[in-house]
Every structure is written in C-alpha cells, then in structure tokens.
Amino acid sequence: MNSSVSGAQAERADRARAIDTVRAGLARRYARERRFRFLGLLAVVTSFVFVGLLFISIIATGYQAIWQTRIRLMVNLDPEVIDPEGKRDPAALSAADYGGLIKSALFEMFPEVTARTDKRALTDLVSSGAAYEVRQRVIEDPKLIGTKEAVWVTANDTVDMLMKGHAERNAEGGAAGLQAKQVAWIDEMIRTGRIEKRFNSTFFTAGDSREPELSGIWSATVGSFYTLLVTLLLAFPIGVAGAIYLEEFAPKGRWTDLIEVNINNLAAVPSIIFGLLGLAVFIGFVGLPRSSPLVGGIVLGLMTLPVIIVASRSALKAVPPSIRDGALGVGASKVQAVFHHVVPLALPGMLTGAIIGMARALGETAPLLMIGMVAFIADTPGGVMDPATGLPVQIYLWADSPERAFMERTSAAIMVLLVFMVLMNSVAIVLRKRFERRW
C-alpha cells in the first residue's frame, strides 16, 4: 500500500512539474508576443513620426512661397513714353519703356536719392519683371494711358527674404544681399504702407525663371500633364490587352512562363534604365524631338507597362471561374465570355492598377533627366512635340539653385506634387471601393 501511495504522490509531483513547465513556457511565449506587438507598434509610430516631421518641414518652408512681397508705386503712364503716336497699336504698347516709368516712380517716392549709385541701389529693390507687369496692365486696359495709377509690383527676392524674416540684419544696418541704405528705404516703405506680402498668383500661373520671385510651376505642370497623357494612351490599352491575352488566351507553356518572368523583372528595373533606352532609341535612332512630352510619355509608358499588366492580371484572376463557366454554358464563345463578362468585372481593378502606375510615373525624375527634359523651359508647351519639363524635374532644378528664395518654391512645388499623387491614389481607392465585388 505504501508503494502505491508513493507512486501516486510521484505522479502528482510529475504532473505539477509539467504544469509549471507549461505555464512557464506560456508566460515566455506571451512575453515574446507582447514584445513583438510592442516593437511592431513602435515601428509604426516611428514611421508616422518621421513622415510627419517630413511633411511639417516641407509645409513650414513651402507655404511661404504662396506669399510674395510687393511694392506699391504711383506710376505715371505717360502717353509720350507709352504711345507717342496715339494709335494704341499693341506692338507699340509692348515696346514702350515701362522700366523707365517704374524708375521714375521710385525716384518720386524717394526724392532725396540723387546719386547714381544710390539710384541703382533703389531700383534694385524692384524685380526685373515689374516692367512686364505694368506693360501687361496697360495692354489689357489701354484707357489707363495718361493716368497715374497705383501699381503693386513684385519686389526683388532679397527684399522678399528680408520681409519674411529669412535675412538677418547685420551690425551696419544692412542684411544678406542688401545695403544699409536699402534696408532703410524698405523700413520707410513699411512705415508708409507701401510694401507688403500679397498672394503670389505668379507661382501658379508662370513658368520657370532665373529670378526666384518670377518663377512658377505652370509650364512644368502642363508638361507633366502632356507626358502623363501620352503615358496613359500608350500603357493602359497595351497593358490591359497584354494581361487579357496572357491570362485568358495564351497557351500555358515554356514561352508564356518566360514572358511572365520578364514582365515581373521589368517591374523591378531601375527607372533610369528606361531613360537610357529612350535616349538611345527614341531620340538617337528614331529621331524624336529632345525634351518633348512625347518621348517622356513613351519612356514612362514603358516603365509603367509591367505594373499595369501585373495589376490587370490580378484583377482577372479575382473573377471567379463560375462566371466564365456560366457564360460558356449558355452558349457564349470564349471571346464573348471574356469581354462581355470577365473584363467588365475586372475593370475596376485594372483602373486601380493603372492609376497607381500613373501616380508612380508622375513622381519619376531620372528617366526625364536622361531624355533632356531637365532643360530650362520658360514657355508653356502647346503640345506633346514642344520642349517641356515636368514637375519633378522642376523641383530638382530649383533644389539645385543657390538662391534662398528657391528653397521655399521647391517645398511648395513638392506640396503640389504630393497633392496630385494623393488625389490619384484616392481616386484609385474610391474606384476599388465603389466597384469592388465580393464573391
């Protein structure tokens, strides 16, 4: 009996040790799970923090480009200078000496400035594009000729930096790029309300310029539009057609496997390789115009094509086989089953993939640099054959400029580019949610 009691006690002791071992193991596993979840949450929070810091840095610098310093001048639109013959000929109005009128208005504002060097320093406060602003106003309304008009002209970028607090005043009373007497004149204009920061419509309506205060994103935006238009017209139909053929009609074999592997490999090829292809083939061999949206669109279309094919094939695979079988069962041909039943159901996924691919193409810079779209383009392109640049390339050019005023324009252009990309990705999400079918 004693031996049976001892055996039972030993068995209970073994069971207790086993339970303790299991509990200890569970505790360790739960602890590891908690650590893993904490590390995952920490990684997500860290990512959001860095992305937030990036956006805050861009917005804090870029929003200032929306405001531009302007100087209020009482310009005497002398008919003897603008239109001495009185014919109101647009060519004569365009050729008038508006710069001289602006100088006269400045000298009238500060009559005590008489020395030649002082006059030159005074006129340097106004942007070189101020004469074009006055000219444009006269051309739009010739009735102003012979009157004295209050005109807000664009100030020089150094004045703009001082007004925005980016140029610190030195011990002599001057500032970065400004003499002490120029700062004194600016202070006098501030006191009399003749200088202030106003909405910078030029940033959204003008093209590129050597002068920061005159530069804008319009020509680059139009160039990106034409480039993406060519990309869409080339990549979407070819990509969808290739996906339909490979998924629905192509016989499974060694060649189709090779094609699929190469499509997947092309999706991972660095974008600059496509730029080299465009430079060598479409510009060097075919002879298409350099720096044109046509070449840029073809290059970006080739780069986007694998993405659209992969996304379209995934959308076709998501359609249940019962749809195909049902269509074939009621007498439809293979082509009718695919194009009348399968493709309409897969189209939302195809559109989503195409939009995401276009959003990626919108932000590409390297291929456009290789085909010459990095050139200085001030005029707005009128078509796909005209010289143009893109918004990402414009950002690259401004970021490489030494002037401090270009820094805020670089950040503002990045903000615009991010807005476009967010809108395109939002459209893709809406399309997927709106037309997605649950099987």
Q: What is the DSSP string of 35-53?
A: HHHHHHHHHHHHHHHHHHH
Tell me which of 16-30, 287-301, 337-351, 392-406 is least confident.
16-30
Q: Tens digits of per-residue pLDDT, 167-203?
A: 888 777 778 788 889 999 999 999 999 999 999 999 9
Q: Tens digits of per-residue pLDDT, 141-162?
A: 888 888 898 999 999 999 999 9
How confident is the model over 262-289, as a mean pLDDT? 87
Length of the chain: 439
Q: What is the pTM assigned to this prediction?
A: 0.84
How far apart, in whole angstroms, are the C-alpha atoms of residue 215 and residue 218? 9
**pLDDT of amino acid 50:** 93
Partners of 175 in the β-ladder: 169, 178
How confident is the model over 60-80, as a mean pLDDT? 91
How far apart, in whole angstroms, are the C-alpha atoms of residue 90 and residue 24? 92
Q: Please tell me which of 14-18, 185-189, 329-333 the model is most confident about, judged by mean pLDDT.
A: 185-189
Q: At 44, list the tokens.
A: 């997500």
Does residue 3 carry a pLDDT above 70?
Answer: no
Give me the helix-helix angle, 293-317 and 343-362, nearest 10°. 140
- Select from 308, 299, 420, 304 the least CA-distant residue to 366: 299
**Sheet with 148-154, edge to edge strand ranges:** 148-154, 67-76, 195-199
Cβ–Cβ under 8 Å, residues 319 and 346: yes
Q: Please tell me which of 2-11, 217-226, 322-331, 398-407 the model is most confident about, judged by mean pLDDT.
A: 217-226
Cβ–Cβ under 8 Å, residues 408 and 161: no
Antiparallel, parallel or unpaired: β 148-154 and 195-199: unpaired
Does residue 5 carry a pLDDT above 60?
Answer: no
How far apart, in whole angstroms, are the C-alpha atoms of residue 394 and residue 218? 10
- Alpha helices by DSSP H, listed for 63-84, are 79-82
**pLDDT of amino acid 46:** 94
Does residue 98 carry a pLDDT above 60?
Answer: yes
Give me the helix-helix angle, 405-435 and 2-62, nearest 10°. 130
**pLDDT of amino acid 186:** 92
**pLDDT of amino acid 439:** 54
